[in-house]
Structure 1
């Protein structure tokens, strides 16, 4: 069967993200399927998309929906209308059935199947798509396929993929050059699943709570291949790279053995690391550590379900700092239990974190299938039948959003390393301009004071 995979993501802040998931789907399909991958970041509009569809003439089209919105209370932007426009246009170009997938879709499968009028959906990991294609080719029903829903069918929830990660990295030159010219950033994944229980997070829903790790040597060979294709920076897309310290250290060691010399970064939990952990990773090329810290009040960390305390944060920060890497902390204020005293505690302790960038968000996006959803429902912040495709944020009853922002702005005044929300279009333009002048990587380290 001829399969067209389309990445619908066009968000470019802080930089455009290569659609890694589609490579993984292509890598697991049976040899009889012919696959083409298109990227709306590269295609550039609906008319070129139509020409590509007519030229390839697919038997089925898979749309990857990565984000529902930007999850930023300071400037909420929903992407669903854009997806509607793409699918309406596709329907005018071909009679091929449309199957939806991706992390954003997996959070709202039933709602998006209805809203976007799709034929099929893959909930959870996209490699399941291969089973759907095989069933359709044989003329079989799909009702019993794990992780697959059809028009009018029930969402049975995601099913973890256990077949291993196999990537087919054969991007057309135009697609590869698009990313190489915009920071040189390519990505890879070393494991799936998240064992943590953060109340707002959707990763356990999408990937499951059990870690499934790729062999470090395989990861390193993939990294070396990206390096040979021209990548100048690697970002590891694991939900939390250090959720398994032994595996992450083994990956770093494999990087050294395979001759991976690129700088790289990842998301980390501010759990207390083993001695020398960040130094070991830095020796293997780690340059950027992005900590999902969220708050610096122990009471709030407990209410958020975080697997660490404030002392752990301080130890992790100093360990990374001593290793000479760049550090960013993401803060998520205004969640359950937030009040003036807890906010003050966080503000005070932020001053103790030296040489870091702080990305500060206010209000927690409420997603279904999370503990935060149940909290918001119990408190009456949302209704049982409320449409959460339209962004809804949890706000603490103990302190208002304006008061939080005012307090943060007062302390951050004049500091470039304190960033509110996603930075908006201004930040996007600045990063794009610097990438155009040859700078590589995420570039937030230039804000560190």
Structure 2
């Protein structure tokens, strides 16, 4: 005990340092537009090198890059040059994923469906470039989809040399990043409301509807990202018993406040729907905590509803904001181009249809990719369900929250956090599978 004590204390300090560094990095990056670009580039390089150089004996480089992918989600719409992703489409998040992919390829891997899937999509995308008005725009979206599909492969390969400790660390980095992002949203609103300083993605829409999304370029992405952290906490509280009641209440209140400050309904609605299913299942199973949460939700619904209505510039709570028309139009585009779709590229879509991208995952990719491309994309989810989700980890409910939200927002594969959640789900499921095998061996021996 005497020899282990200082080591335990040291490990706690290291984790505290990690939390502080992640928060500081996110806060500093919020002000990247008013800080000189050389300083932002230097901060990015130093942070990346600092993290990779730590704990060399505990985690390998690929595992550290997976950690970084989680950590970089809140800042993944800022390029490595300190500009917006639109001006230079390469971020530290993308570098972490690409480096992980390259290292896995060079170190050796087991080829399976997830290895071939990105190449099939890339081949399909290249074949359909002839339909594009702007090839650069099409290639940009194609590479985004390909990188998303690669996350399935990365998760599967990392799962082969991961354990429960690595999984727990990966989950903790994800949650820390969600809380850091929530803090950034609050700081963003404080700067705008009290310092008259506008930073990050902040705007006034319609009749005085103030929206703020930290550094994410989509307000729906922002609320959905925070919602994934909120439902994850519920799972940790009800099933995993990793957090006590008071901490749970304070953490959920903090996340709810940040969701309301973003002022987009998507994440909140997706959270309510997914959590309703989850809590119903747990209530049937006799989980007392689920009843406690349901009572809490019923108590705050009137206040949350009133806040949303008052802060949406007169817009009705369940008003679709034109989503239905966009979805209908996209389905008509699909019917006219059923095999290969109208082609990729967000600007191309606007040029060819005169409309915004449809706010629905299914109709968007049917319209853009057609039946062939959609099958190539959705096969990845079907394999995930068949091969991994059957092990029933809590990540199913987190993924369900994102997929419900994806029915009301465009281009979900560019959200970053879905890719990270895919990797964590595969790793968690692989560990659950290994646990079951070990339990069967112990029973028979």
Instruction: Judge same fold: TM > 0.5, yes or no.
Output: no
Structure with higher strand content = 1
**Higher RCO (CA < 8 A, seq sep 6+):** 2
